[in-house]
Structure 1
Amino acid sequence: MRIVLLGPPGAGKGTQAERLSERFAIPQLSTGDMLRAAVAAGTPIGHKADDIMKRGELVPDDVVVAVIVERIEQPDAADGFILDGFPRTVGRAEALDGVLAINAHELHRVLEIKVDEKVLLDRVLRRAAEAKANGLPVRKDDTQDALSVRLTAYGDQTRPLIDYYSNRGLLTSVDGLQSIDLVTAALVEAIGA
Structure 2
Amino acid sequence: MHIILLGAPGTGKGTQSKLISKKYKIPQISTGDILREHIESKNKIGKKIYNILKKGELVSDNIVCDLVYEKIKKANYVKGFLLDGFPRTIQQAKYISNLNIKIHFVFEFIVPDELILKRISGRRTHIQSGRTYHIYFNPPKEEGKDDITKEKLVIREDDKIESIKNRLENYKKNNKKLTEYYLEEKKLKKLKFFQLDGTKKPNIIYKEIEKIIESKN
TM-score w.r.t. the length of structure 2 is 0.82
- 1:112–1:173 CA contact under 8 A, matched in 2: yes
State the partner residue of 1:83.
83
Residues of 1 paired with 2:110 and 2:154: CA distance?
27
Offset of residue 16 of structure 1: 0.7
State yes or no: 1:191 paired with 2:204: no
State yes or no: 1:179 paired with 2:201: yes
Residues of 2 paired with 1:60 and 1:175: CA distance?
29
State the partner residue of 1:164.
181
State the partner residue of 1:114.
110
Select the structure that is richer in helix. 1
Offset of residue 136 of structure 1: 5.0
Matched AA of 2:157: K
State the partner residue of 1:153.
170
Q: Percent identity?
A: 34
- 1:56–1:146 CA contact under 8 A, matched in 2: yes
Q: Secondary structure at the match of 1:88?
A: coil
User: Which string of whole-angstrom CA distances, capped at 9 and with x for unpartnered residues, describes residues 147-169 of structure 1?
Assistant: 10011001101232111111111
- 1:52–1:59 CA contact under 8 A, matched in 2: yes
**How is 1:8-87 mapped onto 2 (pairs within 5 angstroms)?**
8-87=8-87
Number of residues of Structure 1 aligned to a counterpart in Structure 2: 189
- Segments of 5+ residues of structure 2 without an aligned counterpart are 126-132, 135-143, 147-151, 187-191
Q: 1:175 to 1:90 in 2, by over 3 A?
A: same
Rg larger for: 2
- Segments of 5+ residues of structure 1 without an aligned counterpart are none
Q: Secondary structure at the match of 1:141?
A: helix
RMSD across aligned C-alpha pairs, in angstroms?
1.6
Residues of 1 paired with 2:82 and 2:153: CA distance?
25
Residues of 2 paired with 1:139 and 1:22: CA distance?
27
Residues of 1 paired with 2:194 and 2:90: CA distance?
17
